[in-house]
Amino acid sequence: MKQISASEKSQGNKIGFVPTMGFLHAGHLSLVRESVCQTDCTVSSVFVNSAQFAPHEDFEDYPRDLQKDLDLLEEAGTDYAFIPKAKQMYPDGYKTYIEVHELQERLCGQTRPHFFQGVCTVVLKLFNIVAPDLAFFGQKDAQQSIILKRMVRDLDLDVQIEVLPIIRDKDGLALSSRNFYFNKRQRQAALCLSRSLRLAQKKITAGEIDAAQVLQTIRAEIEAEPQARIDYAEIVDTNDLLPRETIHKGDLIALAVFIGKVRLIDNLIVD
Ligand code: AMP
């Protein structure tokens, strides 16, 4: 991969990179298509990163279908699919991890304390190997892109991060590889996340700026769904991810909700 990347660069080609954990859907492919538009050469990686899963989480069960992923990546215009092996990324004696303090402890970090350390470590390694000019991430993982941007700035990395909108199903459910786990009833229940965010935006548009009031609306909507259990619902400043009392334009409304055993996230930037 390093040789390919060096060779593309020597021909003056700008490299775009889309890191994924596979089991691809239209959300991932929107990132690939944007990279194809903005760069000369698109690299997509598929790597289920053990470092970002806690022992009790779904690393073993995480859905995988590499052949289908390769077909979809090719169809969307990816030039190179990078599929490293776990042993290549984390050889015996691996000891180095990246942390973005404070930001990694907020929102998802409360229930997944090692998650962003795992994400930042693998993304930095992938950046070092692929050496992209641009890297494409989804707004779906809002905290992830905020943390990665901070890592890039703090470590003076020569890569520009592009964050692209959340792709949703027609009924509003944000696409996620984990939606695959759901039966029909659970999938229906999962709609409470996007529904609560739409209600929140409506309330804010009507003039509500008290974060507690808006959060109450969100919570009531989700709690009305018997299969849903809120992990967190917060309205935060995107700079420090700390809760707001008064809502400002550009704030992040972020949710994590369990539907059965499956934990979903969704979010909205206040318009
Ligand atoms: P994952 O395979 O879940 O690690 O996701 C890989 C990339 O795809 C990340 O940058 C995600 O934010 C992005 N992504 C996942 N779901 C969506 C979605 N529904 N819309 C847009 N981007 C997404």
Of 28, 166, 181, best ligand 1 pocket probe by most atoms within 8 Å of the beta carbon: 28
CB-ligand 1 contact for 193 (6 Å cutoff): no
Pocket of ligand 1 contains residue 175 by CB under 6 Å: yes
Q: What is the pLDDT of residues 37-63, one digit of tens each?
A: 999 999 999 999 999 999 999 999 999
| Range 148-157 contact pairs with CB under 8 angstroms and sequence separation of 24 or more | 148/119, 148/120, 148/123, 150/100, 150/103, 151/98, 151/100, 151/120, 151/123, 151/124, 154/100, 155/124, 157/124, 157/127
* 28 counts as catalytic: yes
Q: What is the pLDDT of residues 110-133, one digit of tens each?
A: 999 999 999 999 999 999 999 999
CB of 150 sitting under 6 A from ligand 1:
no
CB 118 near ligand 1, within 6 Å: no
- Of the candidates 28, 56, 114, 248, the residue annotated as catalytic is 28
pTM: 0.98
Summarised one tens digit per residue, pLDDT across range 165-209 is 999 999 999 999 999 999 999 999 999 999 999 999 999 999 999
Nearest ligand 1 atom, CA 165: 21
For ligand 1, atom 14: residue with the closest CA: 138
- Residue 93 identity (one-letter amino acid): G
